[in-house]
Amino acid sequence: MSRILHRSLRNEPLLAVSGRGLMVQGATGAPVIDASGGAAVACLGHGDERVVEAITRQARQIAYAHTVFFTCQAAEELADLLVGHAPGGLTHAYFVSSGSEAMEAALKLARQYFLEIGQPQRHRFIARRQSYHGNTLGALGLGGNFARREPYTPILADCFSHVSPCFAYRFQDAGESDADYVARLAAELEDEFQRLGPDKVAAFVAEPIVGATSGCVTALPGYFPAMRAVCDRHGALLILDEVMCGMGRSGTLHAWEQEGVAPDIQTIAKGLGGGYQPIGAILAQGRIVEALAAGSGAFKHGHTYQAHPVACAAALAVQRIIREDNLLANVQAMGARLETALQERFGNHANVGDIRGRGLFWALEFVEDRASRKTFAPARKINEAVKDAAMAAGVMIYPMGGTIDGRQGDHVIIAPPYIARPEDIDEIVARLGRAVDAVL
């Protein structure tokens, strides 16, 4: 019996043996196509020798250097690559080891910024229901993933509150225009600012494309500018969580590039290192860092493994490859092919209520009844059943739920590596089709 406290104490996971390109081989069974990048992580697929080489070179040179004493070349070059050209005004990067750590750092940077500029009363963060920002206590409190939050509610901080997401399939009223829906959501955010006291709010936090909790939910045009306007009116920051949807997954390097806004602070993680090493980051606007520089002179935060040399070397290699191999263009082209293939295969399926996403980030939402959009009973665990059937059919897709309140709703995410070829996309959809047929 395994001595690891696995995610499930009932079923031991398959032992992973090797990975090459899109294929992953377990200790038993045939190889499977990794059509979800794990959890939208493996953006380059598996076993890219250029990344392996960069990791090895860095480990030989120096594997660890504590940031109290040193910086390292890989971290410096990675920061230059990410924010050297100040995209959207983002000028500084702070490297951590995961998406949750990035979210914690974003919250603390926002809080410290307001302390530094003489607004110590700002300590409230508004996020959205049906969102996920990580599993550490700050990020969990911030998020609106009901199922993951619920057991821990008594130990979560009370500085977080939640408003409705922009989720047209589930929450746009019948007959309501897109503009009216966006205006309703902006009014709700404004009301929440007023309820809390507008000068107490530090930031509004959102995923540009909602990942795990709702399944690749894009916002309606105009939504993010409307939210930004509310934040600006009250002097609060906009923090965008691109841990899952960022670093090329949406077809542009940053998902916010397609939304008409730039964040004050942004978090990134999964596609940053592509799974070759654990790494995440926050990217921050110059004025935020300048406020700290002019004030206390330090970001009062830190982790033992921040800006880890080997992790930064891996991410630097991954990011260079995305640029050198022109992979964003491939994400756009393969994303279009995936959308068409999903529509053709599942567009008329009685139990596929919605097919949504962008770039190489797509989800199927399963429903018991298409017309009423009624969800399946939670006990049926449709998303898990589809995941298991998909593994049996030789394709890995990411199962999630929580569309309504975290206890109902089923979707699966299809997020193949950016290197996917047309025949990979077709095979993924064919295998997924067989899996869905086996369950529904």
What does the binding site for ligand PLP look like in residue numbers (CB under 6 A)?
39, 98-100, 103, 132-135, 207, 211-212, 241, 243-244, 269
Least distance in angstroms from the C-beta of 153 to ligand PLP: 19
Cα dist. 308→64, 94, 305 in Å? 6, 11, 5
Class of residue 41 by CB neighbours under 10 A (exposed 0-12, middle 13-18, buried 19+): buried
Q: Smaller CB distance to ligand PLP: residue 273 or 433?
A: 273
User: What is the CB neighbour count within 10 angstroms for residue 209?
Assistant: 27
Instruction: Report how far residue 121's alpha carbon sits from residue 166's, in angstroms, rounded to the nearest whole number.
Output: 29
Least distance in angstroms from the C-beta of 143 to ligand PLP: 8
Instruction: Report how far residue 312's alpha carbon sits from residue 95's, in angstroms, rounded to the nearest whole number.
Output: 8
Least distance in angstroms from the C-beta of 293 to ligand PLP: 28
Kindly state the tokens that stand for 413.
């995410």
Least distance in angstroms from the C-beta of 320 to ligand PLP: 22
Q: Smaller CB distance to ligand PLP: residue 122 or 128?
A: 128
Q: Smaller CB distance to ligand PLP: residue 134 or 141?
A: 134
Q: Smaller CB distance to ligand PLP: residue 134 or 353?
A: 134
Instruction: Report how far residue 210's alpha carbon sits from residue 207's, in angstroms, rounded to the nearest whole number.
Output: 5
Give the phi and the psi of residue 398 in degrees, each rounded to 5. Answer: -100, 115
User: What is the CB neighbour count within 10 angstroms for residue 117?
Assistant: 16
Q: Smaller CB distance to ligand PLP: residue 241 or 365?
A: 241
Are the C-beta atoms of residues 365 and 210 closer than 8 Å to each other? Answer: no
Kindly state the tokens that stand for 201.
């709010």
Q: Smaller CB distance to ligand PLP: residue 351 or 403?
A: 403
Among the residues of 25-158, which ranges form H helices? 37-40, 49-61, 73-83, 99-116, 137-142, 146-149
Least distance in angstroms from the C-beta of 250 to ligand PLP: 12
Instruction: Report how far residue 279's alpha carbon sits from residue 284's, in angstroms, rounded to the nearest whole number.
Output: 17
Q: Smaller CB distance to ligand PLP: residue 237 or 429?
A: 237
Work out the end-to-end distance of the chain between its first and last CA atoms, rounded to an integer number of angstroms: 34
Least distance in angstroms from the C-beta of 216 to ligand PLP: 11
3-state secondary structure of 146: helix
Least distance in angstroms from the C-beta of 312 to ligand PLP: 16
Instruction: Report how far residue 110's alpha carbon sits from residue 387's, in angstroms, rounded to the nearest whole number.
Output: 38
Write out the H or E segment, with its range, that includes residue 422.
Answer: helix 422-439
Least distance in angstroms from the C-beta of 156 to ligand PLP: 16
Class of residue 83 by CB neighbours under 10 A (exposed 0-12, middle 13-18, buried 19+): buried
Q: Smaller CB distance to ligand PLP: residue 215 or 394?
A: 215
Cα dist. 29→306, 392, 395 in Å? 38, 9, 12
β-pair partners for 241: 267
Q: Smaller CB distance to ligand PLP: residue 394 or 417?
A: 417
**Residue facing ligand PLP at closest CB distance:** 99
Least distance in angstroms from the C-beta of 135 to ligand PLP: 6
Q: Smaller CB distance to ligand PLP: residue 100 or 250?
A: 100
Give the phi and the psi of residue 10 in degrees, each rounded to 5. Answer: -100, -40
Least distance in angstroms from the C-beta of 368 to ligand PLP: 27
